[in-house]
Amino acid sequence: MQQPLAYLVQSAERYCEQNRQRLTPNRRDVLAILVDSHMPMSAYDILDAMRSKQPSVKPPTIYRALKFLQDAKLVHSIESTNQFLVCSHLEHPHQPQLLVCQVCGRVEEIPLSEHMQAHLNESAKEHGFHLIHHAIELHGICQNCQ
Amino acid sequence: MQQPLAYLVQSAERYCEQNRQRLTPNRRDVLAILVDSHMPMSAYDILDAMRSKQPSVKPPTIYRALKFLQDAKLVHSIESTNQFLVCSHLEHPHQPQLLVCQVCGRVEEIPLSEHMQAHLNESAKEHGFHLIHHAIELHGICQNCQ
DNA sequence: TTAGGTAGTGTAATAACATAACGGTTTATG
DNA sequence: CATAAACCGTTATGTTATTACACTACCTAA
């Protein structure tokens, strides 16, 4: 379910090559922290984790790294909980659909079906709306917590 | 597109009767402010508007009223922008789908098609997920802004 | 090789969003 | 009128996110 760090790093490096950017220590550390946690984390959760090794880190450092990781499609943001999550479907381009458990706080990412994607595009088109990206977040109770 | 206040108030009163609650001045004022704005507003936007007539109002008052209005299905929250919006489809029960314009900031609410609804339920079911509610927010550029 | 541009960083300050906790008031109902 | 539930005001604080500015690191082309 969870991508290994090495694979994510590889993907990050590819992104960097294509965009004149660099996978710096800050960015790598934030990614590693998110991978290690196996849970969605808030920016301040990440900040706390960073501080255990580098006490002077401040919020903008985290938000900048998260921005990079989101642009590189390695991390998704969860709008309804203000958290961040490592992408679990790097293998193909996708828009995420998130299943957010209200009990344990875990979030499962599932790829949005092509059918759904088509429907969303269709409904946007009907309203003359130029669609750029979307957030689809389902809240409920996961299998484990039932 | 926008519901008239009278209709919303009527609907609020029906909700109150059924739930031993009251449409108090605070709640009515917050609703009226949202209706008047014709735009999504943040809680603090609403707070500022309230203060022009009642300078001592504080954040909890707004958040409480918003909670009531959301429970009564008169107002939707927009997770990705931390804003609130008067519901524009009171006529039938629905889960909202929101089209958020990145240029003008306006948000159009469209009813989620039954087809989409069915698909979402299906995908939740496949993953053993007990679905309670969802947020579907499409970001892009609206017709006016293109 | 060095000048200049872009990417990236550190830091302080603050903005923006949201809730906890408390004690008191209002309202409906028996 | 006694009671319980809903509602409110207020203080304080917690949480999330950004602005702004000065600086450093790195790449590339003259």
Residue with tokens 């909202």: B96
pLDDT of B132 strictly over 90: yes
pLDDT tens-digit map of B21-31: 999 999 999 99
**Would you state the structure tokens that stand for residue B106, as one six-digit string?**
């306006």
Determine whether the interchain pair A138/B120 forms a contact, defined as Cβ–Cβ distance below 8 Å.
Answer: yes
The percentage of residues in chain A with a pLDDT greater than 90, rounded to a whole number, is 92
In sequence order, what are the residues at sequence separation of 6 or more whose Cβ sits closer than 8 angstroms to the Cβ of residue A63?
A43
What was the pLDDT predicted at A68?
98
- Looking at residue A94, its amino acid is H
Q: How far apart are CA A6 and CA A1, in angstroms?
A: 15
CA distances from B124 to A99, A105, A107, B46, B69 (A): 8, 16, 12, 35, 27
CA distances from B133 to A7, A101, B11, B33, B130 (A): 34, 11, 21, 26, 10
pLDDT tens-digit map of A65-99: 999 999 999 999 999 999 999 999 998 777 899 99
In sequence order, what are the residues at sequence separation of 6 or more whose Cβ sits closer than 8 angstroms to the Cβ of residue A24?
none
Determine whether the interchain pair B139/A135 forms a contact, defined as Cβ–Cβ distance below 8 Å.
Answer: yes
Backbone angles phi, psi at A89, to 5 degrees: -140, 60
Task: Give contacts of B99 with chain A, Cβ < 8 Å.
Answer: 124, 127, 129
Task: Give contacts of B123 with chain A, Cβ < 8 Å.
Answer: 97, 110, 113, 116
Task: Give contacts of A123 with chain B, Cβ < 8 Å.
Answer: 97, 110, 113, 116
Task: Name the segment(s) of chain A with CATH classification 3.30.1490.190.
Answer: 96-145
Q: Mention the CATH class of domain B5-86.
A: mainly alpha
Task: Name the segment(s) of chain A with CATH classification 1.10.10.10.
Answer: 5-86
Q: Give chain A's contact residues with B (Cβ, < 8 Å).
A: 79-80, 97, 99, 101-102, 108, 110, 113, 115-116, 119-120, 123-124, 127-143, 146
Q: Would you identify the CATH topology of the domain B96-145?
A: Dna Ligase; domain 1 (3.30.1490)
Average pLDDT over residues B88-113: 92
What was the pLDDT predicted at B133?
94
Q: Which of residues 20-39 of B touch strand D (CB under 7 A)?
A: 20-22, 24-27
